[in-house]
Structures are given as C-alpha cells and as structure tokens.
C-alpha cells in the first residue's frame, strides 16, 4: 500500500464528463447539473462544496450511480455507468463503491459488526477479515461490536458507517454531509477517520459538504454554483474555503 498520491496519467477513481441533469420538463424543468466535468483521482480526499441548490448532491448521486445523468457520462474506474442496468449498478455499488450518508446510515435490526459486514454479506463473500479487524480498530468500536445502532451515539453511528463504507475495499467512498447531524467534536472524529483512511490506505473519498471546517480536511475542494464547476482549491483551510464560499453566495 502506497502512501503517495497517484501519478498523473493513471485512470481517476471516478469522473464525470459534461454531466447534465435536468429534473422535470417544460416550464418546470430545473437544470441541476449544467455541463460539469470533474475527475476524482485515486488516493485523494475531495470535497464538493457549493451553496444550497448548486447541484453538489446531484453530482455526487450521479457520480456514485445512485442517479442517472440526462446527458454526459459518469465513470467509476473504467466503467461507464450509463450503460449499466439496475442490477449491474447495484452490484457495482456493492463491490466498488462505499457510502456514508448524513443520517440513517445503519440498519436498525443489525448489530454494529453486522452493519459493517453488510455489503460483504449481501455479496455473499467473506471479505478480508484482517482488513475489517483493522478497520474496527481504526474507528475504535471493538467494544461495541454486538450493540444495536440505537445504543450508540450519533458520532459512533457515523463511525460505524465509515467502517462499513470501507469494508469491501471500494474504489471510491462517497460521503454525503457525513457530519451534518453531528456536533463539532464527533464531526471532527469522523472527518479525521476519512482523512486517515485516504492517506494510510490509498483509498479515494468524495465528500459533499457545506461546512468549510469539514472541507478543510480534504486534499482538494471543488466548488459548484448553479450546476456548474466554478473553482478548485488545493490544500484548503477553513478560512480560505469560507472566503470562497462567501464570494459564491454574493452574486457578482
């Protein structure tokens, strides 16, 4: 496992090309994405930022294969998502993509351990037990393995979700406002986890957020406004991101 970022020229973990997403039709049509092209390179932690309605969640959903584009293309590795039927898309999500949502991330009837293994169990594979063990240690939940989600705090639940997202060694993990429901300390822990996972294990994470502090944990931030890519920022800090966001929110 390398700790360096991937050299240019190799395939990005995920990318969208000329992505257009239109909701509705006729007078009520809304262009949520209006020709976005963006790469998410392997081994990088990328944050997508933008004001409400900028299309950042739509971009993530389309890039992750949860939603389909009106036109343009979305790829996970070398797989073009538009050509896949529902079944293949599901299998792709199961085997090659991880998810962390804002809320309701865990199945309430399953224990912590079972929730972590869920994608593997659904696939009917054993997975890499050593890897999962190390994940459990990283998220620090070894003593909670047989608890139910309802017995955990919000931060703990989100850490379980992170462990699950990485359990199947996916090509890319998508996180949708993973700290939206958490206080700043728990949120910091979850973001630290995501960052460590990327740096130590060369995983790829794409995170949607509206919180500059959260975005500051990423290697790079891409800014969206009105369905278009408006800016990219390497090595962000909270202040820089906040300034950029302010500029976006005030129409020039």
Partner 1 sequence: MNASVRLSVSSLRAHKRRFAGTFLAVFLGVAFLAGTLVMGDTLRAGFDTMFGNATSGTDAVVRSADAITTPGESEGVRQPVATDLVNAVEQVPGVAAAAPNIQGAGQLVGANGKPIGGQGPPTLAGNWIADEKLNSYRLAEGRAPERSGEVVVNRGTAEKGDLRIGDTTTLRTPDPVKVTIVGLATFGGEDGMAQVTFTGMTRADAEKYLTARPGEAASIQVRAGPGVSQQELVDRLTPVLPEGVEAITGQESAEENTDMISSQFLTLFTTFLLVFSGVALLVATFSIHNTFAIVVAQRAGENALLRALGASRRQVTAATLVEASVVAVFASAAGLAGGIGVAAGLQALFPAIGFPFPEGDLVISGVSMALPLAVGIVVCLGSALLPAVRAGRTAPLAALRETALDTTGASRVRAVTGMGLAALAVAVTLTGVLVSPSLWLAGTGAVLALASFVVLGPVASTTAVRVLGGPLDRLRGVTGGLARRNALRSPRRTAATASALMIGVAVVSLFTVFGASLKATMDQTVSRSFAGDVAVSTPSFGAGGSGLSPQLAGAVQELPEVDTAVGLGRGVAEVDGKGRALTVTDPLALERTFDLGTVDGSLRDLGTDGIAITENEADKQGLTTGDTTRLTFTDGTTRTFTVRAVYGQSELAGEYVITRAAWAPHRTQDTDTLVAVSFKDGVSTDTGKAAVEKVAERYGNPEVQTRDEYAQSSAGGIDMMLTLVYALLALAVLIALLGIANTLTLAIHERTRELGLLRAVGQTRSQLRAMVRWESVLVAAFGTVGGLALGAFLGWVLVKASDGASDSSFAFAMPPLQLAVVALVGLAAGALAGLRPARRAARLDVLRAIATE
Question: Binding to partner 1 by residue 109, rule CB under 8 A?
Answer: yes
How far is residue 249 CA from its own chain's centroid?
A: 24
Least separation in angstroms between CB 197 and partner 1: 17
Kindly provide the b/e burial profile for residues 209-238, where b requires at least 16 CB atoms within 10 angstroms of the residue's own CB: bbbbbbbbbbbbbbbbbbbebeeebeebee
Closer residue to partner 1 in complex, CB, 23/243: 23
The alpha carbon torsion through 167, 168, 172, 173 (nearest 10 deg) reads -30
Closer residue to partner 1 in complex, CB, 119/236: 119
Q: How many other β-carbons are positioned within 10 Å of the β-carbon of residue 17?
A: 15
The binder of partner 1 chosen from 67, 220, 226, 231 (CB under 8 A): 67
Question: Binding to partner 1 by residue 95, rule CB under 8 A?
Answer: yes
| Among the residue ranges 32-40, 117-125, 126-134, 152-160, the one whose residues contact partner 1 (CB under 8 A) | 117-125
Closer residue to partner 1 in complex, CB, 174/223: 174
Question: Binding to partner 1 by residue 52, rule CB under 8 A?
Answer: no
Close Cβ partners of 148 (under 8 Å, ≥ 6 residues apart): 108, 109, 110, 111, 112
The alpha carbon torsion through 193, 198, 202, 206 (nearest 10 deg) reads 130
Question: Binding to partner 1 by residue 124, rule CB under 8 A?
Answer: yes
> Which residue, chain included where needed, has tokens 């239109």?
22
Question: Binding to partner 1 by residue 39, rule CB under 8 A?
Answer: no
Question: Binding to partner 1 by residue 164, rule CB under 8 A?
Answer: yes
How far is residue 98 CA from its own chain's centroid?
A: 7
Cα separation, 221 vs 188, whole angstroms: 17
Question: Binding to partner 1 by residue 122, rule CB under 8 A?
Answer: yes
CB 115 within 8 A of CB 157: no
The binder of partner 1 chosen from 34, 39, 121, 220 (CB under 8 A): 121
Question: Binding to partner 1 by residue 251, rule CB under 8 A?
Answer: no
Question: Binding to partner 1 by residue 30, rule CB under 8 A?
Answer: no
The binder of partner 1 chosen from 15, 21, 56, 93 (CB under 8 A): 93
Summarize as ranges the residues that interact with partner 1 (CB under 8 A). 61, 66-67, 86-87, 90-91, 93-95, 98-99, 101, 104-110, 114, 118-119, 121-124, 164
């Amino acid at each position: 496992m390398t700790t360096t970022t991937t050299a240019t020229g190799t395939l990005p973990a995920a990318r969208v090309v000329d992505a257009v997403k239109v909701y509705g039709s006729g007078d009520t049509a809304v262009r949520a994405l209006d020709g976005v092209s963006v790469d998410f390179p392997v081994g990088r932690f990328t944050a997508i930022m933008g004001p409400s309605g900028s299309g950042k969640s739509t971009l993530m959903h389309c890039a992750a294969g949860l939603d389909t584009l009106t036109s343009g293309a979305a790829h996970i590795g070398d797989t073009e998502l538009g050509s896949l039927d529902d079944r293949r898309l599901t299998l792709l999500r199961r085997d090659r993509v991880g998810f962390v949502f804002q809320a309701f991330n865990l199945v309430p009837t399953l224990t912590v351990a079972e929730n972590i293994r869920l994608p593997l169990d659904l696939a009917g594979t054993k997975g890499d037990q050593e890897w999962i063990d190390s994940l459990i240690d990283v998220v620090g939940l070894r003593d909670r393995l047989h608890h139910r989600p309802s017995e955990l705090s919000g931060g703990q639940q989100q850490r379980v979700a992170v462990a699950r997202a990485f359990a199947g060694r996916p090509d890319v993990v998508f996180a949708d406002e993973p700290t939206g429901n958490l206080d700043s300390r728990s949120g910091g822990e979850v973001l630290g986890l995501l960052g460590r996972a990327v740096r130590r294990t060369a995983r790829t994470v794409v995170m949607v957020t509206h919180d500059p502090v959260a975005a500051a944990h990423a290697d790079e931030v891409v800014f969206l406004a009105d369905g278009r890519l408006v800016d990219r920022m390497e090595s962000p800090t909270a202040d820089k991101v906040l300034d950029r966001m302010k500029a976006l929110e005030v129409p020039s």
